[in-house]
Structures are given as C-alpha cells and as structure tokens.
Structure 1
Amino acid sequence: MSHRAPSQALVFAVAVGGIAIFSSMDAVMKGLTLQIGAFTTLFWRTLAGIVFTGAIYLPTRKAWPSRDVMRVHLIRGCVSAVMAVTFFWGLAKIPMAQAIALAFIAPLLALFGAAFVLKERIPPRAVIASLIAFGGVGVIMLGQASAAPNHERFVGTVAVLLSAVCYAYNIVLMRQQAMVAGPSEVAFFQSIIVGVIFACFAPFLADVPDLKHAPAIVLAAALATVSLLILAWAYARGEANYLAPTEYTGFIWAALWGWVVFHEPVAPYTLAGAAMIIAGCLVAARKRDIENVEAAF
C-alpha cells in the first residue's frame, strides 16, 4: 500500500508552526536567562530535553546510526552548542525582535558557505543581496548608535551575530541530517551531544537553580523538542529554499512575545533593518541559484 506524499502547502504550514513553537521557546528561555543565567538555563533545559527525546526515540529505534550519519549528528551538535550559548546570552541583552532580525542573515550566509564548500561560483545576485542584507544589519546598528550608549546591547548584538554565523552552517546541516535520519533520531542525538558538551563545562559555569524555575525549564525543553521534531519532518519533505522563508515568520512572534512578556517596543530602525535583511535573503534564495546545493544532499 503506497502512502501519498503530503502537499507542499502542508509541509510549508508545518514548518511555520515549528518556527512559531521555537520562537515561543525563545521567550521562555529569555525569561529564564534573565533570572538564572544563559549557561545554567541551557544546561538544565538540555538535560530535560534528553529525557523527552530519549523517551520518543529509544523505544522505537531499530538500529544505531552508521558512522557517516553519526558524523553529521556530531558536527551539528557541536555547532548547535556554540550557536545556542551565543544566541541566548545575547538575547538576554537585546530586545527579542532585534535578535531575531539580526539572526536572519543566517540563510544568506548559508548560501555563501555552501558555495564555498562546494567550490561553486557565487552569482552576482547573491553579492547584491548580501549588500542589501548587511545594509539592514547596519541600519539596526545605527539605531543602537542613535540611542544612549549601551555596552550591554552592543556585546549582545555581537553575540547574536556570531550565533547567526553558526546557524548558517546549521541550516546546511539540518537539511543534510533530515535526509539521512528520522525526526526523533535528529532530536535525540542533538540533545544528547549538546548535553555532553555542556556537561563538560557545567562544574565551572552552571548552578543548581531554585525548584521554582523547574516548570519553565521543562516547558522550554518540551517546546524545543516539539519544534525540532516538526522542523525535521518538514525539511525531510520540502526543499530548503522553499522552506527558508518560514524563518522570517519568527520576527512576528519575537516582536509579539517581546512586547507582551518583556514590554519591549519594536524600534523603527529594527523594522527597517529586518525588512532589508529579509529582502536580501529573498533575492538570494532562488531555486536556480541553489539547486546544485540541494542536489548535493
């Protein structure tokens, strides 16, 4: 009996839902980070995530991943660890909408990174798109400069930009990983590998949080696990260039949660910069420019 493939509209909608859940997790994580610190929050959330993903994956697994598949899991786990620490540390210092807007340069950087790794020619349109997008980053930075000097916001911005560089590589790895492993396997091994990395530093950087923070930590882990499963499912059934625009819906949720939960207004400079970054990414992310990258997977 054959199974009918899901429509691309459904795959796109599922990816949008995954981004919404992930953005909601960002709000929970920011609240925790402001109270107990970025590393402590990430460490305990990851431990809770291992329990969730293990309960889903381990009872249903048929065999352990091959060496080649495990290599992809390890690489993405290491990249994700750096990406998470820098993002959430920076997120605690700048508004959510601004952090997400800056992170939008990741899809464009992924295009350049894939071209570099695969020795492909970078098309002229990608160069133009990069100028537009990085101009948007400049507009957001200009907005910071026009406000009262704030060292915390500046270093937070730098941290988020570093996280975006890691996320650019993570985008390529996410598509590659989704093609060789199921959603539950992807979620479990990302949690376990990141957890092992964090455990190496936990004796020096992590604290034992008060029990009152446990519900929020469990909620963040549950949201992260669900979003990982949903996005892994979507990326296994839809091309990366088709699903990439779903990332931009995260700005809506970031602005909403930042306003509702943290009373953060969305600055005009942030709106203008986000629009420029999104425009640059959309100019670059056309199928004929990246179809060779997709074929490599």
Structure 2
Amino acid sequence: MAKSLISHRPGLAVTLKLSALFLFSIMSALVKAVSDTIPPGESVFFRSLFAIPVILVWLAARGEFPSGLRVKKISGHVWRGLLGTMAMGLNFAGLGLLPLPEVTAIGYATPIFTLILAALILGERIRLIRVSAVAIGLAGVVVMLWPRLGGDLGDAAALGAVLILAATIVRSFVQITLRQMVKTDTTSAIVFYFSASSTLLALLTIPFGWVMPDPTTAVMLVLMGLIGGVAQILITSSFRFADASLLAPFDYVSMLFAIVIGYVWFSELPTLVMLIGAALVIAGNGVVIWREHQLGLERGKARSVTDPKS
C-alpha cells in the first residue's frame, strides 16, 4: 500500500506542487510546439511511454516495485485508461489551436464539472453554497468561450475551444472514476497503469497519420514524457506533506506560468475577456475548496493522482 501522509511539512509540499505545475506548463508548451507536425495521438504516445521509466524508478526508490502495482479492481483501471487517454488527446489537439493561457484557464473548470457529475453519478448532495460555486464557474466558462464559439476569431479557434471544453468534461469523469479507485488501489498502481494503458491506446491512432519526427522534434517528444513523468511524481509526493485543502489554491499559479511561457515561447498574450472568465472560474473553485475544507472532505488521494495538464 502506498505510504500516506508521513509528516506535516507545508513548505516542502508547496514547493513540490509549484515545481510540478511549472513542469506541466513546460510539457504543454512542448506539445503545442510540435503540434504543427505531430498529430495528437502520436504526442500522447510519447508523453505516456517515456513517463513509464520515470515512474518505475520512483516506485523502486520508494520500495513499492513490484508490490505497489497490484490491483484489486481491473475495471477501474480500464475506465481510467480510456477516459484519461481521451482527455489527453483532446487536450493535446486543442493546444495546437488555442493560446496556452486560454487552454489553462478553460481547464480550471474541471472541479466545477466534477461537482456536477458527483451529484448526478455518485448522488452527492449539492447545497446552496455549492450551487452558487457551480453557477459562478459556469458563468466564467461561458465568458471565456463566447468569443471563440461566436466565430469572431476563426474556425480553428472555435474548434480548439470545443476540444478543450470536451477535454475538461472528460477529465471530470476521470475524477469521478478516481474517487472510486483510490478506495481499493494504490496511487502507485493508478499512476503506472494509466501511463501503460494510454501508451497502448495511443497506438490505435497510427492509421490516422503518424509521421517520422526530425531529430529536434524527437527530442521534444521524449522530453514531454520525461517531464510529464517527473511532474506527476512531484505532484503526488506533495500530498505526503500537506493536506489537499492547503495545496488546492496553488493550482492557479499555473496561469502565471502559462502566461509567461506563452508570451516568451509563442508571443501569446491573454485577452481581457479570457482573464475575466478565468477569474470567475477560479472564484467558483475557491468556493468549492473552502466548502470542502469546512466539511472536512478528504480528496487528497484522488487529487494526488490527478494530472491538471494530462
């Protein structure tokens, strides 16, 4: 069984979390950089395949190999693999069509959709405070998507917005699946088998036009997997030193990373409308975080296996 929280070291936990978010932002930038020549399915393959050795080394260092890979319910891993791979593919496809900060901002809606699905699928009760949070968050999503879906900025941008929104919704289903999986299987097993299954599932996209990458692109593809694997380990490790309620607000620092990287690498600047929408989504999530802390809900294990950038 994976080790639980072993000590309360909030400074270390925050450092690990921020480091992971920065690496995920770099990984997303790499995906975007190769998107003109590499199809999303091929990017998913490299992202997943080269994360596996990093994860195996991590498990061995923790003394959890191979014991940590035992599973009790295979069905959960199958659904996690299918849904997670779909979300990653949609996200990677959208990254090639939208600015990095905008992709990051729309992704913040995942907890809002998860809250809705938890009520519909798991029967969780949503009272007035949470309903308000959902309303604020959804309003933010509408504000961000309205210019794109209105067609003002071109068909490619509209398609990108639809893809990222779809990825966000599918990722919410992943969260619901994870809430059930952590009751029976270890974090180690969940992380490893997702990388393994998404690697295999990505191979199914070969008929849709994989290409032979040039040396520079190949290096970037490999780095995507290595960086993604390290980021997953860092974000998982952060939950060993602090509660999820303490770490959750730091998710939004990734917007700063996305803005800086987007500007430096792709000469992208966020629009005022996008920032307003993102602020509303973050506000809605903030209400959810506060309410869950008040109720003493434990989402740490599920959040520790969450990949915010796939």
Alignment partner for residue 17 of structure 1, among 19, 22, 41? Answer: 19
Q: Secondary structure at the match of 2:51?
A: helix
1:226: Cα distance to partner?
0.5
Q: Residues 211 and 130 (structure 1 numbering): CA distance in 2 closer, same or farther, change over 3 Å?
A: same
What is the aligned partner in structure 2 of residue 227 from structure 1? 231
Are 1:113 and 2:110 counterparts? no
Inter-partner Cα distance in structure 1 for 2:191 and 2:276:
35
For 1:282-293, list aligned pairs within 5 A. Answer: 282-285=286-289, 286-287=291-292, 291-292=296-297
What is the aligned partner in structure 1 of residue 129 from structure 2? 125
Deviations 1:117-150 (A, max 9, x none): 3322111111111221111122222344688441
What is the aligned partner in structure 1 of residue 305 from structure 2? none
Runs of 4+ in 1 over 6 A off after TM superposition: none
Inter-partner Cα distance in structure 1 for 2:117 and 2:237:
24
What is the aligned partner in structure 2 of residue 30 from structure 1? 32
Q: Which has the higher helix share?
A: 1
Are 1:155 and 2:154 counterparts? no
What is the aligned partner in structure 1 of residue 204 from structure 2? 200
Deviations 1:250-281 (A, max 9, x none): 11111111111000111111111111110111
1:69: Cα distance to partner?
5.3
Alignment partner for residue 92 of structure 2, among 88, 100, 110? Answer: 88
Inter-partner Cα distance in structure 2 for 1:296 and 1:290:
17
| Count of aligned pairs | 294
Gaps of 5+ in 2: 303-310
Alignment partner for residue 213 of structure 2, among 209, 215, 234? Answer: 209
Are 1:181 and 2:183 counterparts? no
What is the aligned partner in structure 1 of residue 49 from structure 2? 47
Inter-partner Cα distance in structure 2 for 1:295 and 1:263:
36
What is the aligned partner in structure 2 of residue 101 from structure 1? 105
Which amino acid is the alignment partner of residue 83 of structure 1? A
1:51: Cα distance to partner?
3.8
Are 1:274 and 2:262 counterparts? no
Contact 1:106–1:168, Cα closer than 8 Å, also in 2? yes
Inter-partner Cα distance in structure 2 for 1:175 and 1:226:
23
Gaps of 5+ in 1: none
Q: Secondary structure at the match of 1:68?
A: coil
Q: Secondary structure at the match of 2:67?
A: coil
Inter-partner Cα distance in structure 1 for 2:145 and 2:300:
37
Q: Residues 117 and 260 (structure 1 numbering): CA distance in 2 closer, same or farther, change over 3 Å?
A: same
1:289: Cα distance to partner?
6.5
Contact 1:111–1:290, Cα closer than 8 Å, also in 2? no
Inter-partner Cα distance in structure 1 for 2:170 and 2:301:
20
1:24: Cα distance to partner?
1.2
TM-score when scaled to structure 2?
0.83
Q: Secondary structure at the match of 1:35?
A: coil
Alignment partner for residue 82 of structure 2, among 78, 84, 92? Answer: 78
1:95: Cα distance to partner?
0.6
Deviations 1:218-255 (A, max 9, x none): 21111100011112222455444433222211111111
Inter-partner Cα distance in structure 2 for 1:51 and 1:272:
40
Contact 1:133–1:278, Cα closer than 8 Å, also in 2? yes
Cα RMSD after superposing both structures: 2.9
TM-score when scaled to structure 1?
0.86
Q: Residues 74 and 244 (structure 1 numbering): CA distance in 2 closer, same or farther, change over 3 Å?
A: farther
State the identity %.
23
Which amino acid is the alignment partner of residue 15 of structure 1? K
